[in-house]
A and B are shown apart, each in its own frame.
Chain A
Amino acid sequence: MTTYAVKNLTHGRELIAFRIGEQEFCVNIMSVREIRGWTPATSMPHAPPYVLGVINLRGAVLPIVDLSLRLGMKPAEPTVRHVIIVAQVGPKVVGLLVDAVSDILTVTNENIQPTPDIANEAEKAYARGILAIEGRMICLIELDSLFPHTESEAA
Chain B
Amino acid sequence: MDMNEIKEIFFQECEEQLAELESGLLKLNDGDRDPETVNAVFRAVHSIKGGAGAFGLDDLVSFAHVFETTLDCVRSNKLEPTQDVLKVMLKSADVLADLTNAARDGGSVDEARSRTLIRELEALAHGEAPAAAEAPAPKPAAAAPKAAAPAPVVEKPPVNDEGFQPIPFSFGDFDEEPADRYVPTCQVVFKPKKDLYAKGNEAVLLLRDVSRLGEMSVYCDMDSLPPLDKMNPEEAYFSWKISVTTDKGEDGVRSVFEFAEWDCDLDIHTIEEDVVGEASDDEELPMQPVPFDLSMLDEGGPSAGGEEEPTAVEGDAAAAVAAAETATKVSQAASRAAENAKAAASAAGAAQANQAAAAGQTIRVDLDRVDRLINLVGELVINQAMLSQSVVENDNNGASSINMGLEELQQLTREIQDSVMAIRAQPVKPVFQRMARTVREIADITGKSVRLITEGENTEVDKTVIDKLAEPLTHMIRNAVDHGLEMPEKREALGKNPEGTVRLTAKHRSGRIVIELADDGAGINREKVRQKAIDNDLIAADANLSDEEIDNLIFHAGFSTADKVSDLSGRGVGMDVVKRSIQALGGRISISSKPGQGSVFTMSLPLTLAVLDGMVVTVAGQTLVVPLTAIVETLQPEASAIHSFGASQRLISIRNSFCPLVDVGRILNFRTIQANPIEGVALLVESEGGGQRALMVDAIQGQRQVVIKSLEANYTHVPGIAAATILGDGRVALILDVDAVVAASRGQSLKQDISLAATG
- Interface residues of chain A, those whose CB is within 8 Å of chain B, are 40-48, 50-51, 53-56, 58-63, 65, 70, 89-90, 92-94, 147-155
Beta-carbon contact of B752 and A147 below 8 Å? no
Beta-carbon contact of A44 and B734 below 8 Å? yes
CB nearest neighbor in B for A55: B732
Contact with A along B646-676 (1 / 0, CB 8 A): 0000000000000000000000111000000
Q: Within 8 Å CB of B756, what residues of A?
A: 48, 147, 151
**Of residues A40, A42, A51, A94, which shows the largest number of chain B Cβ atoms within 10 Å of its Cβ?**
A42
Name the segment of B399-407, B435-443, B482-490, B711-719 touching the other chain: B711-719
Report the minimum CB–CB distance from A107 to chain B (whole Å).
26
Q: Within 8 Å CB of B378, what residues of A?
A: 59
From A46, A148, A150, contact of B720 by CB (8 A): A46
Within the assembled complex, what's the spacing in Å between the Cα atoms of A42 and B618? 13
Beta-carbon contact of B718 and A62 below 8 Å? no
B750 at the interface (CB under 8 A from A): yes
The 7 A-B residue pairs with the shortest CB-CB distance, nearest first, are A45-B668, A147-B759, A48-B757, A42-B732, A63-B715, A65-B758, A92-B714
Report the minimum CB–CB distance from A47 to chain B (whole Å).
7
B379 at the interface (CB under 8 A from A): yes
Q: Within 8 Å CB of A48, what residues of B?
A: 755-758
Beta-carbon contact of B669 and A45 below 8 Å? yes
Beta-carbon contact of A45 and B721 below 8 Å? yes
Beta-carbon contact of A92 and B715 below 8 Å? yes
Beta-carbon contact of A155 and B714 below 8 Å? no
Q: Within 8 Å CB of B47, what residues of A?
A: none
B622 at the interface (CB under 8 A from A): yes
Majority secondary structure, B binding face = loop
Within the assembled complex, what's the spacing in Å between the Cα atoms of A117 and B258? 86
Within the assembled complex, what's the spacing in Å between the Cα atoms of A144 and B199? 72
CB nearest neighbor in A for B727: A56
Beta-carbon contact of A56 and B720 below 8 Å? no
Within the assembled complex, what's the spacing in Å between the Cα atoms of A15 and B271? 86
Beta-carbon contact of A92 and B731 below 8 Å? no
Known A54-B724, A59-B375, A92-B715: A155·B731 in contact at CB below 8 Å:
no
B760 at the interface (CB under 8 A from A): yes
Beta-carbon contact of A61 and B758 below 8 Å? no
Q: Within 8 Å CB of A65, what residues of B?
A: 757-758
A-B contacts, 17 of them at CB < 8 A, read: A44-B721, A45-B719, A45-B721, A46-B752, A48-B756, A50-B757, A59-B382, A59-B726, A60-B714, A61-B711, A63-B759, A65-B758, A89-B758, A94-B758, A147-B758, A148-B759, A151-B756
Report the minimum CB–CB distance from B664 to chain A (whole Å).
10
Beta-carbon contact of A61 and B759 below 8 Å? no
Within the assembled complex, what's the spacing in Å between the Cα atoms of A126 and B721? 30
17 further A-B contacts with Cβ under 8 Å, apart from A45-B670, A48-B755, are: A45-B718, A46-B669, A48-B756, A51-B757, A54-B711, A54-B724, A59-B382, A61-B709, A63-B714, A63-B758, A65-B757, A70-B758, A92-B715, A94-B758, A153-B757, A154-B752, A155-B755
Beta-carbon contact of A151 and B755 below 8 Å? yes
Report the minimum CB–CB distance from B669 to chain A (whole Å).
5
Q: Within 8 Å CB of A148, what residues of B?
A: 759
Beta-carbon contact of B760 and A151 below 8 Å? yes
Beta-carbon contact of B757 and A155 below 8 Å? yes
Within the assembled complex, what's the spacing in Å between the Cα atoms of A151 and B710? 20
B730 at the interface (CB under 8 A from A): yes
Q: Within 8 Å CB of A55, what residues of B?
A: 731-732
Known A46-B720, A59-B379, A59-B726: A40·B622 in contact at CB below 8 Å:
no
Report the minimum CB–CB distance from B748 to chain A (whole Å).
14
B733 at the interface (CB under 8 A from A): yes
Q: Within 8 Å CB of B752, what residues of A?
A: 46, 154-155
Known A42-B731, A43-B622, A149-B759: A61·B750 in contact at CB below 8 Å:
no
Within the assembled complex, what's the spacing in Å between the Cα atoms of A59 and B708? 10
- Interface residues of chain B, those whose CB is within 8 Å of chain A, are 375, 378-379, 382, 622-623, 668-670, 709-711, 713-715, 718-721, 724, 726, 730-734, 750, 752, 755-760
Within the assembled complex, what's the spacing in Å between the Cα atoms of A54 and B731? 9
Report the minimum CB–CB distance from B73 to chain A (whole Å).
52
**Of residues A46, A48, A89, A94, which shows the largest number of chain B Cβ atoms within 10 Å of its Cβ?**
A46
Within the assembled complex, what's the spacing in Å between the Cα atoms of A41 and B730? 11
Report the minimum CB–CB distance from B668 to chain A (whole Å).
4
Within the assembled complex, what's the spacing in Å between the Cα atoms of A38 and B622? 19
Report the minimum CB–CB distance from A153 to chain B (whole Å).
6
CB nearest neighbor in A for B670: A45
Beta-carbon contact of B726 and A62 below 8 Å? no
Q: Within 8 Å CB of B732, what residues of A?
A: 41-42, 53-56, 61
Q: Within 8 Å CB of B719, what residues of A?
A: 45-46
Q: Within 8 Å CB of B375, what residues of A?
A: 59
Known A55-B732, A151-B757, A155-B752: A94·B668 in contact at CB below 8 Å:
no
From B622, B709, B720, B759, contact of A90 by CB (8 A): B759
Within the assembled complex, what's the spacing in Å between the Cα atoms of A21 and B23? 67
From A42, A47, A152, contact of B622 by CB (8 A): A42
Beta-carbon contact of B713 and A150 below 8 Å? no
CB nearest neighbor in A for B729: A56
Report the minimum CB–CB distance from B353 to chain A (whole Å).
46
Beta-carbon contact of B713 and A60 below 8 Å? yes
Q: Within 8 Å CB of A63, what residues of B?
A: 714-715, 758-759
Beta-carbon contact of A94 and B714 below 8 Å? yes
CB nearest neighbor in B for A52: B758
Beta-carbon contact of B758 and A50 below 8 Å? yes
From A46, A59, A60, A150, contact of B760 by CB (8 A): A150
Beta-carbon contact of B757 and A61 below 8 Å? no
Q: Within 8 Å CB of A147, what residues of B?
A: 756-759
Known A89-B759, A92-B714, A94-B759: A60·B709 in contact at CB below 8 Å:
yes
Within the assembled complex, what's the spacing in Å between the Cα atoms of A46 and B752? 7
Within the assembled complex, what's the spacing in Å between the Cα atoms of A89 and B713? 12
Q: Within 8 Å CB of A59, what residues of B?
A: 375, 378-379, 382, 709, 726
Q: Within 8 Å CB of B758, what residues of A?
A: 48, 50-51, 63, 65, 70, 89, 94, 147
Beta-carbon contact of A42 and B734 below 8 Å? yes
Within the assembled complex, what's the spacing in Å between the Cα atoms of A9 and B755? 33
Q: Within 8 Å CB of A153, what residues of B?
A: 755, 757
CB nearest neighbor in B for A62: B714
Beta-carbon contact of A61 and B668 below 8 Å? no
Within the assembled complex, what's the spacing in Å between the Cα atoms of A46 and B741? 13
CB nearest neighbor in B for A45: B668
Q: Within 8 Å CB of B750, what residues of A?
A: 45-46
Q: Within 8 Å CB of B715, what residues of A?
A: 44, 54, 61, 63, 92
Report the minimum CB–CB distance from A62 to chain B (whole Å).
6
Q: Within 8 Å CB of A54, what residues of B?
A: 711, 715, 724, 732
Q: Within 8 Å CB of B760, what residues of A?
A: 92, 149-151
